[in-house]
Structure 1
């Protein structure tokens, strides 16, 4: 009987052991899995806390501009973020997600600084890059009037004739995205071209070609970039608004098809009987395999009254050598320019002011509407940023109170947290106020600089004319 019982007992034991092996881990395995889970959880918590420790309040406007939007607020609209009617609370649509995230954080730490970092990560404003970034890089681009010098008169005292048709070829290749004197080369070239067109357009038909603006600098885009030449302002009477819009619409990006640009200008206007002068504004040599020297020669060979003038803007020796050859082959002149003033002065070699031009120079100063527009742009960026700071501050304070209400933090932690939140607001406001004042001063200084330049020129020309008439 005892043997039968033992046999049955061992049989059941073996059966149960087999079932356990098939369906569940052993006790040792359970202990190991449990340890692994605890270790993984601890590692995750440690990783999360380390991540929060790396999220800090911005110390500069550059830092503010690079702040990513909060994970939960990234889709909030501008109206939501700058509304004066915003409530001091976490919006209903993200409250549940916010509490779920913060439960995990507050279970790991009660440090107000790390909780504040979690607020920045989850609820930070989505607008800083949109407004602080443009404000930080804002630079007034007032049209600088061309002020030709008296040596531009002929020996007989007569004015040099302006061309009937002026074709401006603007280089928009990727190298124009480099900086020069604190500004993009492209922006400097645009300002100079606008000023030149406003001057020469008083007596000449004007056209604007752009090249290098298609595709990118990658080899895969070379064919597109090298084959795209656009006359963005067709030859005709100068219209300031339309011409400036055409210039502003140009973006630098690709290769440099200088030869093809000259060729396209020739083909488009080969039947034009009146004299034509091409004005090339470029910062580099041909990169598409064409022969710009031969094309300049072909252009000037059509008629004696055809010329190709070139302005090389901060070019290297190799590029300057080619651009000089282009001007020579095109029966024109070459000018090297390193600054905006040199560029506008160089373009003006064919223009002489009349008494009327001198009398109307006062209207070329960027006072009044241009200055007010620039100041309004700066104020718009600054005011919207300040509102975004205020809304973010109120959202953070509401979040701190919500955590206390839910029992996730106590009153002491909440008070310390609100102090950190308000310190952040004060710091951000100070940064934006300083940046706003800096940009306003920059605008006013630029207005004063140009106005003084115009006034000095006017007085000098007036004195020379009076002396000549004696």
Structure 2
């Protein structure tokens, strides 16, 4: 049998203290609830001379407290519900709130007869006014677009590049292997189309040259020497002209060997008169294989970079085997450029437009304010104004309904009803006009900020495209 132990004195004191605290808290809460209930009950019987003066300016109405009936009986979310869910407001108002409102204001005006129009209006605001204007007005009046211009390079490197004439030399492999087919067509035809598109998109004023190699003779050993010497500038270095350039690409077909090193050396000769302190020089090569004429294209690319022209060499390997890719990649690295490999028409087009062009155009992808951002911001701004206007109109409508009830019960005369109705409509107009002015100011600022950024981007594009 367990030995019974009496609780210690300390434990007994602690229990008593907790009990007293709970009782005290319960009594305080009860007293507080009683006071709040008394305050609510007294509002319906507030003497007319104690009803606060209703605000008559937009600024004061924005800061007004909620009507006592609104605070006690009307859920804030339902009062400010968006138009699409307006039925929630209507249903709650008609089924729940309106009967309470009619009873309370009826009781008040039975005890406070012969009120002036101003006194009637003041009490209706005291009972039915919205206290939510500030919640939506503050974000409206402090609204900022948040639009930011994209990074538009204007530093020393970009400035130097802009000041310099741009020279682009394109080397086209026309060796016999370019006759082969890949998904999308014949390699030679696809390469020509991609080069034409690339040249057409170069910045205005860029000097262009198209060198073709391997387009003479055949793949036989008897034709090797002749084919390896055949490197031709079918479009000499000059500003791009669509008709002449397309005629140049149509003047040759895939045929012989691959004198890649000699073609790079000839590109160096073309650019030798254009030092890098005054010109930006670039070499672009489309090839489907390695050097087959005994030259050293890696050494040629290094030499090109070492000269004062400092031309960057970029290469697209078109359906190249592993050994070819290794050599072409080494050539591009030696020339300070990039190498990519493609297998079909789509990959070739993508690399020409996505890989090469950004290195030439800093303008690619630059835009002003994206449409979705602008639409989101205008919607946000409209929502603030719409919420405020809805709150204002609903307050006026509650007062209109209250006036109709009071008139039907003969608690106010027709003249008083008309005067209060006019005042309620005037105050509604004061609020809504103020909200509209702020909204229009913010909308104009939004539009100006968008135009400023868009204009800045367009000016930047135009400057760099000249």
Higher CA-based Rg? 2
